[in-house]
Amino acid sequence: MPRPTKERRILEPPKIQGMKPMGVPARFLECVYLALGEYEAIRLADYDGLDHREAAEIMGVSRPTFTRLIEKARKKVAEAIVGVKELLIEGGNYSFSTQLQRCMDCGEFERFESTDELVSSCRNCGSTNIVHLNEWFGGRGGRGCGKRGGHRGGHGH
């Protein structure tokens, strides 16, 4: 029996839930699922430019585990781009280090250390149309792909 997956530490939730090719309705697309740990591996190694040792330490995993995560993540991103598939970010065993909110009116992002600090209005424009991004990734099952129509039930939109 395999060992349980070790929890991956993630700085903050992704600012999006996924991406899809332009000009192709989502109902016609297959999906590729990128786990949150894989997303964080790409962010740390490819976006922030950290080496595998540093990134593994930040995520709370071993260096060989980090290398496996980044290889899986890169393969999935390539599959989504080359295979013209929707890329959805969800799932995995993870915990966020910080909280992230977004104003849906002006687009401003704000990071907080704990949920006690979350605000009910945007400090930039005063809007109350605020989304707590951590909630996008917690306590909900997968959205599924393939034959579907219309919007996705408003998750994070």
Residue 25 class from Cβ within 10 Å (0-12 exposed, 13-18 middle, 19+ buried)? exposed
This prediction has a pTM of: 0.80
Q: Is 149 contained in some domain?
A: no
Each residue's pLDDT, cut to its tens digit, for the chain (157 residues) gives 777 778 899 998 999 999 999 999 989 999 999 999 999 999 999 999 999 999 999 999 999 999 999 999 999 999 999 999 999 999 988 999 999 999 999 999 999 999 999 999 999 999 999 999 998 887 433 444 543 333 333 333 2
- Are 93 and 109 part of one and the same domain? no
- Are 59 and 116 part of one and the same domain? no
- Are 66 and 106 part of one and the same domain? no
- Are 1 and 71 part of one and the same domain? yes
Identify the CA nearest to 26 among candidates 152, 157, 138, 120.
152
SS3 at position 132: strand
**19-50: per-residue pLDDT in tens?**
999 999 989 999 999 999 999 999 999 999 99
Please tell me the total count of domains within the chain.
2
